[in-house]
A and B are shown apart, each in its own frame.
Chain A
Amino acid sequence: MTRSGPLAGTTFPRLASSVAKYSLLSLGALIATGPLLFALYTSFELPADYPRLVALSRLTLWNYRYVFDNAPVLRWYANTAFVTFGVVVGAVVVNTLAGYVLARIRYPGRTVTFLVVLAVLMVPLQAILIPLYLLVAQFGWLNSYQALIVPFIANPFLIFLMRQAFQAVPVDLEEAALIDGAGRFRSFLKIAVPLTMSGVATQAVLAGTWTWNSFMIPVTFTTDPNQYMMTVGLNSLQSQFYTLTTVQMAGVVLLSVPVVIMFVVFQRLIVPSFATAGIRG
C-alpha cells in the first residue's frame, strides 16, 4: 500500500469505488444520526411550528421550560443520576474484588465458582423478573432507590470481564509484594488494581450506561412518579403530552445527551467493550 490519502494516485475505477464506498457510509451515517438530529431540532421548535421546518431564529427553549414546569423532570434526572452512581460504585467494588479472586487466588471451590458465573452469564433479566419483583416486594422496596441499585451491583459479566483483566496483568509484582509480607488486600489495592484501571473504567462505563438506559426494571419496580427514572418518565410523557411532539422530543434529548456526551468522549474505551458485552447486553 503506497497511497497516502484516500484519493492519492488513483485511477478512475479506484476513484469510482471510493465514491461509492463513501456514499454508502454517508448514507449509513445519515440513517444512524437522522432520528437523533430530528429529535434535537424538533425539541427547539414551537409546538405550533411542528412539523414544518423553520428558520434557526425561530427556534426556542420553550419545550424545555414547559417540560420542566409540567413534569418532575428534575426529580427524574436526580433519581437516574443517583441510581446510576450507586450501581457504578457498588459494581466497581464488588465485581473487581470477585474478578481478582477468580484470577489470582487458588481456593477450594474456585472452579465451581467460575462455572457458576459462566452459567448465569447469559440469563436475561426478562426471565427472572418475576422472582426479582417478589423479592423486592417482600423487602418492602417497591418505589425505593435500593430496589433499583442493590440487585444490579453484582454482575456475572462484569466479574468475568475483571477476571480477564487481572489475568492479562503479570503476576510477578504482586508475588514480590506478597513475599515481602504485604497482605492480600494490600497487594490487590496497591498493585493489581492500578494495573487494571482500564478494565475498571470499562466496567464503570458499561454499568453506568446499562443503568442509565434501563427501562424494564424501573418501570416494573416504581409506580410513584416521584421515583421514576428518566426512561420511565419519558415514557409517561407520551401519554401526558400526547399531542405535544416537541415537548416529548425535549424529553428524548434530556435523556440522551449525557450518554451521548460520555460516549463521544470515551468512545475508544466504550466501543470495544460493548462489542464483547453486547453479546450479553
Chain B
Amino acid sequence: MRHLRHLALGAPRAEGRRSLAVQAKRDWGAAYVLLAPAAGLLGLWFIYPIVDTVVLSFQRVNLFQFSQRTYVGFSNFHQLLDDPAFHHSLFITLVFVVVVVPAQTAAALALAAVLQGVQVGRTFFRTTFFLPYMTSTVAVTTVFMKLFVIGGPLAAVASAVFGVANATWYAQPNLALAFLVIVYVYMYIGLYVVVFLGGIENVPVELHEAAKVDGAGVVQRFRFVTVPSVRPYIFFVVVAGFIQAVQVFDQAYVIASNGAILGSPAGATATLVIFLYQQAFRLNNLGYGSAAAVVLLLIVFAGTVLTRRLLPER
C-alpha cells in the first residue's frame, strides 16, 4: 500500500524522466541489493546448517574424515531409541526444566509484583536483579563453583541451614544437577522480572484499590488481582523459559571441563545438548550427534508453536 501511494504521489514529478514501471523496478533492484548481504550470510550460516543438521542425522560421519558421508537411513534415530545415555540425557533435561521453569517463573513474578508496589528505588532494584543475566555464564559458573566447594561459603550455609552434606556440589552426583539449577536460575530471574514488570505495569491501579477496599490483603491481591491480570505473561515466561532451559550447555560444560567426558560427575549434568556435543566433538560421531540435534530442534519448534498460539500478537 505504502509503496503504491508513493508511486502515485511521485508520478507527476517523475514524468519525462522515468516511467512508473522503471521507478518500481529500480526499487526492486534496491531491495535485492540491500538485502543481499543478510540473505547471503543467513543462507550460508543459518539456513544451510539447519538443513545440513537434518541431512547429517541420516548419515554416518566421522569428525576427522568429515568429507566422507555415508547415508544410513534412520539408523541414527533407531540407535537413539535404544541408547541409555540418550534416555538419561532426556531425563536429566526433563528434571532440569521441571525444576528451573516453575522456580524462576514464581520467583520472578513475586519479585516483579513487590517491585511494582514500591515507589523509591525501582530502577536500582531492577538494574541489580538484571545484573547476573548480563554477566558471562563462564564467569558466574566459575564463581559459584568456589561458593559451593567443600567448606565454601554457600556450601557451608546450605549444610547449616538445610542439612545438606558440606561437599563440593558440582563433584557430587546427587548435588551436581541442583548446582546447575542454582547457577542457571540465578542468571535468568532478573530477565523474567523485567518481562513481568512490563505486564504488571498494565494492571489498572483501580483493580488493586477496589480489592483493598474489599479487605483483600497483600497475598490475596497478588493471588486474585496480579496473577490473573498477567496470565498471558506467565504463559509466555513459562514457554520461553522452557525453550531456553532445554538448551542449557555452557554451565554444564564449565563444571566438567577439567575432564574429557562432559556431563560429569557420573552423567549427573549430561543434558541433551551436552549429549549431542559429547557425541559430535568428543566421540567424533557427527551423524549421531546431529540426530540428537534434530530432537532438540523438534522440542524447540514445539515450544515456539505453543508461544505463537498463546500470544498471537507477537
User: Footprint of B on A, CB under 8 Å?
Assistant: 1, 3, 5-6, 17-18, 21-22, 24-25, 28-29, 31-33, 35-36, 38-39, 42, 51, 93-95, 97-98, 100-101, 104-108, 110, 113, 116-117, 120, 122-124, 126-135, 137-138, 150-154, 156, 159, 171, 175, 178-181, 183-185, 188, 209, 212-213, 215-216, 219-220, 231-232, 234-235, 238-239, 242, 245, 248-249, 251-252, 255-256, 259-260, 263-264, 267, 270-272, 274-275, 278-279, 281
> Distance in Å from the Cβ of B308 to the closest Cβ of chain A?
9
8 Å CB contacts to A: which residues of B98-142?
111, 114-115, 117-121, 123-140, 142
Are A219 and B253 interface neighbours, CB within 8 A?
A: yes
> Distance in Å from the Cβ of A120 to the closest Cβ of chain B?
6
SS class, residues of chain B in contact with chain A: helix
Distance in angstroms between the alpha carbons of A154 and B35 in the assembled complex: 11
Does residue B240 face the partner (Cβ distance < 8 Å to A)?
yes
Q: A21-B117, A153-B41 are in contact. Are A116 and B47 (CB under 8 A)?
A: yes
Q: Which of B2, B35, B131 contacts A33 (CB 8 A)?
A: B131
What chain A residues lie within 8 Å of B138 (beta carbons)?
213, 215, 231-232, 234-235, 255
The 16 sampled A-B contact pairs (Cβ below 8 Å) are A5-B119, A25-B111, A39-B143, A51-B151, A107-B28, A116-B42, A122-B243, A126-B296, A128-B50, A184-B34, A185-B34, A213-B137, A234-B139, A271-B130, A275-B198, A281-B244
> Distance in Å from the Cβ of A116 to the closest Cβ of chain B?
7
Does residue B38 face the partner (Cβ distance < 8 Å to A)?
yes
User: Footprint of A on B, CB under 8 Å?
Assistant: 2-6, 9-10, 13-14, 26-28, 30-32, 34-35, 37-42, 44-50, 52-53, 56, 66, 111, 114-115, 117-121, 123-140, 142-147, 151-153, 186, 189-192, 194-195, 198, 205, 218, 236, 240, 243-244, 247, 249-250, 253-254, 257-258, 273, 276-277, 280-281, 286, 289-290, 293-294, 296-297, 300-301, 303-304
Are B191 and A122 interface neighbours, CB within 8 A?
A: no
SS class, residues of chain A in contact with chain B: helix
What is the chain A residue whose CB lies nearest that of B196?
A275
> Distance in Å from the Cβ of B29 to the closest Cβ of chain A?
9
What is the chain B residue whose CB lies nearest that of A116?
B47
Q: Which of A93, A178, A256 contacts B6 (CB 8 A)?
A: A178
Q: A24-B114, A184-B27, A216-B249 are in contact. Are A122 and B32 (CB under 8 A)?
A: no
Are A122 and B304 interface neighbours, CB within 8 A?
A: yes
Distance in angstroms between the alpha carbons of A277 and B111 in the assembled complex: 21
Are B130 and A267 interface neighbours, CB within 8 A?
A: yes
Are A278 and B191 interface neighbours, CB within 8 A?
A: yes
What chain B residues lie within 8 Å of A156 (beta carbons)?
42, 46
> Distance in Å from the Cβ of A106 to the closest Cβ of chain B?
4
9 nearest interchain CB pairs? A154-B41, A98-B38, A131-B52, A184-B30, A131-B49, A128-B49, A107-B31, A151-B45, A213-B136
What chain A residues lie within 8 Å of B41 (beta carbons)?
94, 150-151, 153-154
- Given A31-B186, A39-B143, A93-B37: 20 more A-B contacts, CB < 8 Å: A1-B205, A25-B114, A32-B128, A39-B139, A51-B151, A95-B38, A98-B35, A98-B37, A101-B34, A106-B3, A120-B47, A124-B247, A129-B293, A135-B49, A213-B135, A216-B250, A231-B136, A235-B142, A235-B254, A278-B192
What is the chain B residue whose CB lies nearest that of A171?
B2
> Distance in Å from the Cβ of A165 to the closest Cβ of chain B?
15
What chain B residues lie within 8 Å of A179 (beta carbons)?
6, 9-10, 13-14
